[in-house]
């Protein structure tokens, strides 16, 4: 009976010790969990405060940067009352020197303006003179061009016979010393407007019939573009030019 009681009491004590151990382990686990929760809570709290403080600092810096230009302090004007009365002569001298300094640039500007005006005026006068000279040259050239066609024998139209001293039946003769030759030269001069002294005869020949002739003449200056004159002998009236042509080149 005592043995049974002992055994039961030992089992009871063992169970209680075991239960105490379990309670200790649970309490230790709960304590560890509570410590961890507290640690993480404190960590999160400090981290949030630091971030908030950083944001506040950044915001303050931004506000300072944005407000600094608008709040630029203007230098205070020093207003010191003069201890002594200002010297009137010195102020007058300074005002005179200031007036002179202001007058000199104005005079220089007026001088520069006058020089520019004179230079522009001279330039305009030179341009107008050049334009007038150019217009005169053009008018002279136009006048020459206008006068040249009037004196061009190729555009004079019909010519009258130059007259003749030959009598009887006409006999064509190209002897340079004969009367017929002299009358043909007279007809060439009348057709071209060239005098016999300045006229060079390159060729004077029969025109295809006994009463026709063709002559090629020019001056020494225009020998590259001579005149080709066709003429016909009219009985009792002499040689009459019928056609004048300016050649583009001299075939002789």
**Contact (Cβ atoms closer than 8 angstroms) between residue 239 and residue 184:** yes
**Contact (Cβ atoms closer than 8 angstroms) between residue 153 and residue 193:** yes
Q: Whole-model pTM?
A: 0.41
pLDDT band at 17 (very low <50, low <70, confident <90, very high): confident
In 152-233, which ranges are continuous DSSP H helix?
179-192
In 3D space, the residue among 220, 224, 228 whose CA is nearest the CA of residue 244 turns out to be 228
Mean pLDDT, to the nearest integer, of 65-81? 49
pLDDT given for residue 82 in this prediction: 47
Measured CA to CA, the distance from residue 172 to residue 169 in angstroms comes to 10
| Report for 97-111, 159-173, 235-249: range of highest mean pLDDT | 235-249
Give the residue extent of every domain in the chain.
1-55, 157-246
CB atoms within 10 A of CB 59: 10
Mean pLDDT, to the nearest integer, of 190-194? 93
Average pLDDT, the chain: 76
pLDDT band at 198 (very low <50, low <70, confident <90, very high): very high
Mean pLDDT, to the nearest integer, of 54-67? 70
pLDDT in tens, 109-165: 666 666 666 666 666 677 767 777 777 777 666 665 544 444 455 455 689 999 999
DSSP 177-242: TSHHHHHHHHHHHHHH---TTT-EEEEEEE-SSTTEEEEEEE-STTTTS-EEEEEEEETTTEEEEE
From residue 237, how far is each of 164, 165, 229, 232, 244 by CA, in Å? 6, 9, 18, 10, 20
> Which of 23-37, 71-85, 213-227 has the weakest average pLDDT?
71-85
229 forms bridges with which residues in the sheet? 215, 244
245 forms bridges with which residues in the sheet? 228
Question: Counting beta carbons within 10 angstroms of the beta carbon of residue 180, is it exposed (0 to 12), middle (13 to 18) or buried (19 or more)?
Answer: buried
What phi and psi values does residue 202 have, to the nearest 5 degrees? Answer: -85, -35
From residue 222, how far is each of 51, 153, 201 by CA, in Å? 110, 14, 12
Q: Is 1 helix (H, G, I), strand (E, B) or coil?
A: coil
Measured CA to CA, the distance from residue 149 to residue 155 in angstroms comes to 7
pLDDT given for residue 237 in this prediction: 92
Q: Is 182 helix (H, G, I), strand (E, B) or coil?
A: helix
Higher pLDDT, 166 or 95: 166
pLDDT given for residue 150 in this prediction: 40
pLDDT given for residue 76 in this prediction: 47
Q: How many residues does the chain have?
A: 252
């Amino acid at each position: 009976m005592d043995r049974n009681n002992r055994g039961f009491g030992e089992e009871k004590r063992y169970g209680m010790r075991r239960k105490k151990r379990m309670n200790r382990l649970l309490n230790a686990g709960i304590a560890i969990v509570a410590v961890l929760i507290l640690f993480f809570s404190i960590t999160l709290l400090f981290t949030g405060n630091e971030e908030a403080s950083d944001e506040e600092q950044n915001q303050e810096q931004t506000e300072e940067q944005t407000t600094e230009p608008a709040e630029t302090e203007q230098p205070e004007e020093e207003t010191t009352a003069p201890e002594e009365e200002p010297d009137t002569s010195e102020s007058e001298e300074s005002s005179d020197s200031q007036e002179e300094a202001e007058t000199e640039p104005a005079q220089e500007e007026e001088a520069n303006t006058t020089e520019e005006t004179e230079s522009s005026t001279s330039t305009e006068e030179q341009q107008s003179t050049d334009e007038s000279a150019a217009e005169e040259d053009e008018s002279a050239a136009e006048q020459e061009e206008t006068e040249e066609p009037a004196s061009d024998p190729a555009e004079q139209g019909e010519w009258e016979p130059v007259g003749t001293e030959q009598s009887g039946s006409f006999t064509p003769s190209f002897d340079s010393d004969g009367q017929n030759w002299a009358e043909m030269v007279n007809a060439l001069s009348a057709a071209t407007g060239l005098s016999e002294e300045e006229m060079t005869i390159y060729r004077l020949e029969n025109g295809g019939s006994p009463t026709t002739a063709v002559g090629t003449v020019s001056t020494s200056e225009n020998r590259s573009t001579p005149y080709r004159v066709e003429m016909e002998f009219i009985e009792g009236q002499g040689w009459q030019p019928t056609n004048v042509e300016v050649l583009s080149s001299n075939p002789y």
